[in-house]
Amino acid sequence: MRGVAVLGSTGSIGRSTLAVLRRQREHFRVVALTAGSNASLLESQRLEWNPDFAGLVGPGDASAPGGGPGVLIEAATHPAVDIVVNAVVGAAGLDATLAALRAGKRVALANKESLVMAGELVLEAAREGGGELVPVDSEHSAVLQCLAGHGGQLERLILTASGGPFREWPAERVQEATVEEALRHPTWSMGSKISVDSATLANKALEVIEAHFLYGLPYDRIEVVVHPQSIVHAFVEFGDGSVLAQLGFPTMELPILYALTHPVRLPDSGVPRFDPIAAGSLTFEPVRADLFRTFDLGVAAGRAGGTAPAVFNAANEAAVAAFLDRRIPFGRIADTIHAVLNAHTTQPATALAAVREADRWARARALEEMS
Ligand code: NAD
Ligand code: MG
């Protein structure tokens, strides 16, 4: 019986994680749950799972009794926890990732932002604390599954992207897309921030950076293709030219289950079985640079290294929040990130203080750009 903490249990990935755990009660026990703000859903989850710890981070009040950001650390380092599912959205997830790895836990990482912001520090925390980082992101889970049992040299990764709701739109129309249009993802149902990231393809840039740190590959060996059906999650090419892919209907429950059980597999009757006839034609196309400026900005930030990915991430979070609040049009998301990255002088990201300062600076600068 392994103990699991679910950070962000009220969100899309958090709820999918609990759906997986409901079918695996003989293997896992829910030890800790945390939520950002949805107190009533957290309470009903607490009644269902009877965890040792349930905490609400609350609306930015660190001094609230039983609440505040410390809740995430407490859950992530709880002694009865073996696996921390980090399903918090955004930079708020970083400290818990670091703390869990330092405490020697397995981190099933949905919160890709923590790896993007502070990839070197996250890997160092895992090395020092003996923790283990396992991706929940479907593309990175696909890579891990393709690599399992293969001794050969990893040559190249190709991550797939659905292309989001605007894949076939004229570029001018996308600039004025509404919040409702941006949230209408063709193949995945997700939280609002990652849905907007999928419409701009910022999500895929975050994933390229995530893959760089997880699999230790240089950026020129990580590629992205648009695959509107979201059936192939990633391709892995080995030194001999052989290519493996992992396929399945789009559901996060499979990569979540695999992150809990890797390197073994458990049967899970809840995952829809694959049917190639129902999947139909699988198509692949290049990323449209005219539509997805944010993607290129993010990959360039990854290549620049140091604090640049943290700045990209923070500017993106600030711009997406402003778009969701209807303070800026869709097209201003890329403009804002571009301006903030242009104004930034990249520093080494080998100390947490430098990462935090870059994050703080980028958010403030993004707000100035958008005012
Ligand atoms: P969501 O918005 O549905 O849920 C986010 C969760 O984090 C909620 O429980 C919320 O209460 C909590 N939270 C928000 N702000 C917080 C804060 N400041 N402190 C503590 N908790 C906070 O998001 P989601 O779609 O579940 O995505 C979560 C993470 O997983 C993101 O990093 C996303 O990129 C990643 N991810 C999501 C999917 C997906 O299919 N939804 C797929 C791959 C990766
Ligand atoms: Mg993904």
pLDDT band at 199 (very low <50, low <70, confident <90, very high): very high
Query: For tokens 């890329």, what's the residue?
Result: 334
End-to-end CA distance of the chain: give it in Å, rounded. 52
Mean pLDDT of 364-368: 98
Q: Please tell me the distance between residue 354's alpha carbon and the centre of ligand 1 in angstroms.
A: 24
The protein residue with its alpha carbon nearest to ligand 1, atom 41, reads 190
**Residue 83: alpha-carbon gap to chain centroid:** 17
* pLDDT at residue number 188: 82
List pocket residues of ligand 1, CB cut-off 6 Å. Answer: 8, 10-14, 35-38, 57, 72, 87-89, 92, 110-113, 137, 188, 190-191, 193-194, 252
- Which of 7, 9, 88, 200 to mutate for ligand 1's pocket (most ligand atoms within 8 Å of CB)? 88
The protein residue with its alpha carbon nearest to ligand 1, atom 19, reads 36
Q: Which CATH number fits domain 2-135: 3.40.50.720, 3.40.50.2300, 3.40.50.410, 3.40.50.1370?
A: 3.40.50.720
Tell me: the pLDDT tens digits for 304-343?
Answer: 999 999 999 999 999 999 999 999 999 999 999 999 999 9
pLDDT band at 67 (very low <50, low <70, confident <90, very high): low
CA distance 363 to 113: 15
The ranges assigned to domains in the chain are 2-135, 140-250+272-304
Q: Please tell me the distance between residue 139's alpha carbon and the centre of ligand 2 in angstroms.
A: 5
Q: Are strands 232-238 and 243-247 parallel, antiparallel or unpaired?
A: antiparallel
**Residue 288: alpha-carbon gap to chain centroid:** 22
Q: Please tell me the distance between residue 36's alpha carbon and the centre of ligand 1 in angstroms.
A: 9
Model's pTM, two decimal places? 0.97
Query: For tokens 């979540």, what's the residue?
Result: 256
